[in-house]
Amino acid sequence: MSDNCPYILKPDPTDKRLFETVRVMDHDGRERDIPIIAEHPLTLFLNGQEIVTMMTICDYPDLLGVGYLVNQNMLKPDDRITAINYDPDIETVVIRTERRTNYEEKMRKKTLTSGCSQGTVFGDVMEKFERVVLPDNVEIRSSWILALLKAINTTPSLYIKAGAIHGCVLCQDDRPLVYIEDVGRHNALDKIAGYMYLHDISGADKVMYTTGRMTSEMVIKTVQMGIPILISRSGATVWAIELAKQTGLTLISRAKGKRFLVLSGKERIVYDWRPPSEKRADRRIA
């Protein structure tokens, strides 16, 4: 990655905790060793209460735990976290807060989502979602989208090294800031939510990029994080588009190379880039 586009946080494909070397046989019948992503169960506790067990690569268990609770409305903006304890031996992360919590009733009502590695949304998440107002004075230029795609796709990552993983990137204008990967795109998004919460970062002027498809869960979490623009190199579901339109989220899909599709929130797009062929034609006319 060039120095003029530094990340605050980015993947470390050299971290040997995140993959194992496995011997395979290829299409020519030759044996060779390749890196394979290692996933582990991580059980999350909020104070003394078990909340959920997630499958994850466990590179940032603290961010994943905090972000999951934020996106499930279990951590409030004014909550004070007193401790985050991760124990790799028993694969647990415990988030402790000053406020006493009891979500037993809430956890009885939950929806299994279409997220990779089994996403979960608890019953009252939609109540907060329906109250969120995204800023309407934010724009994204088509030249910024192309710059983001180039920067992200040329960043060394676990996906490039081993595949079988998704990435999410918190961006501002044409700059990628926080790039995080996991076996589930919703996990990667939760880790970014955790980073934003712990560092008091507003989503109002940010853009979220994901490598995976845009489902209802991805839209709900992005909106709850206060981020007005969501971009994916993959497609979207109908419900995701409907929810995006309800909240004024700009949804951009199939973003690859120099192409993309705007599914909702087109008023935020400023088209300031044209193909070189059009520019050459303008010069000939002049």
The answer on 171 and 259 residing in a single domain is yes
Would 64 be classed as within a structural domain? yes
The pTM score is: 0.89
Query: What was the pLDDT predicted at 109?
Result: 61
How high is the mean pLDDT of the chain? 90
Would 263 be classed as within a structural domain? yes
Report which of 219, 232, 182 is spatially closest to residue 39, judged by C-alpha positions.
182
Please name the helix (run of DSSP H) or strand (run of DSSP E) that holds residue 63, with its range, or none: helix 61-71
Q: Tell me the C-alpha distance between 256 and 146, whole Å.
A: 8
In this prediction, residue 274 has a pLDDT band, given cuts at 50, 70 and 90, of confident
Would 13 be classed as within a structural domain? no
The answer on 264 and 157 residing in a single domain is yes
The answer on 234 and 202 residing in a single domain is yes
Would 21 be classed as within a structural domain? no
Q: Indicate the residue among 123, 157, 175 that finishes a domain.
A: 123
Report which of 105, 102, 106 is spatially closest to residue 126, judged by C-alpha positions.
106
Residue 58: which domain range? 40-123
227 and 71 Cβ atoms separated by less than 8 Å? no
User: Averaged over 15-32, what is the pLDDT?
Assistant: 96
Q: Tell me the C-alpha distance between 56 and 187, whole Å.
A: 7
Q: Tell me the C-alpha distance between 154 and 12, whole Å.
A: 14
In this prediction, residue 273 has a pLDDT band, given cuts at 50, 70 and 90, of confident
The answer on 105 and 144 residing in a single domain is no
The answer on 238 and 147 residing in a single domain is yes
Query: Which token pair is 175?
Result: 């700059």
Whether the per-residue pLDDT at 117 is higher than 50: the answer is no
Report which of 130, 68, 74 is spatially closest to residue 105, judged by C-alpha positions.
74
The answer on 144 and 113 residing in a single domain is no
User: Averaged over 130-150, what is the pLDDT?
Assistant: 94
CATH assignment of the domain containing 259: 3.40.140.10
User: What count of Cα atoms within 13 Å lies in the side-chain half-sphere of residue 79?
Assistant: 22
Would 239 be classed as within a structural domain? yes
Count of the separate structural domains present in the chain? 2
Over residues 227-260, the pLDDT tens digits come to 999 999 999 999 999 999 999 999 999 999 999 9
The answer on 144 and 245 residing in a single domain is yes
In this prediction, residue 14 has a pLDDT band, given cuts at 50, 70 and 90, of very high
CATH assignment of the domain containing 98: 3.10.20.10
The CA distances from residue 96 to 45, 60, 82, 194, 285, in Å, are 8, 17, 6, 14, 67
